[in-house]
């Protein structure tokens, strides 16, 4: 249980870092969406790390790996917004 809570906390921080450092006009806005993207990145990094064997099943990704995972999720999000698969809630009048 604490492992999941810790991943959520790390994911939130990683989401903030990824959002600040990533370029592009289609950045998702808002506290909740940033948190969700960061948490998704942390879970992605944890899953890939456990699959490759970098982490045990009871370990989660650290801040750096979670930030990289958040960058990947944010990149995928930006591609989906650019190709108009999803609408960017931070820019309701835009593409």
User: Which pLDDT belongs to residue 37?
Assistant: 80
Residue 22 belongs to some domain of the structure: yes
Q: How many domains does the chain have?
A: 1
Residue 19 belongs to some domain of the structure: yes
- Reported as a single tens digit per residue, the pLDDT across 37-87 is 888 888 888 888 888 888 777 777 777 888 888 888 888 877 777 777 766
Residue 56 vs residues 7, 9, 65, 66: alpha-carbon distances, Å: 14, 19, 15, 16
- Reported as a single tens digit per residue, the pLDDT across 22-34 is 765 545 566 677 7
Task: Give the angle subtended at the CA of 82 by the CAs of 78 and 85, to the nearest 5°.
Answer: 95
Structural domain boundaries, residue 8: 2-82
**pTM here?**
0.68
């Amino acid at each position: 249980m604490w492992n999941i809570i810790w991943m959520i906390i790390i994911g939130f921080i990683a989401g903030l870092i990824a959002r600040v450092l990533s370029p592009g006009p289609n950045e998702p806005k808002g506290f909740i969406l940033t948190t969700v993207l960061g948490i998704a990145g942390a879970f992605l990094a944890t899953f890939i790390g456990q699959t490759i064997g970098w982490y045990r099943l009871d370990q989660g990704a650290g801040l750096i790996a979670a930030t990289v995972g958040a960058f990947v999720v944010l990149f995928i999000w930006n591609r989906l917004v650019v190709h108009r698969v999803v609408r960017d809630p931070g820019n309701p009048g835009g593409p």
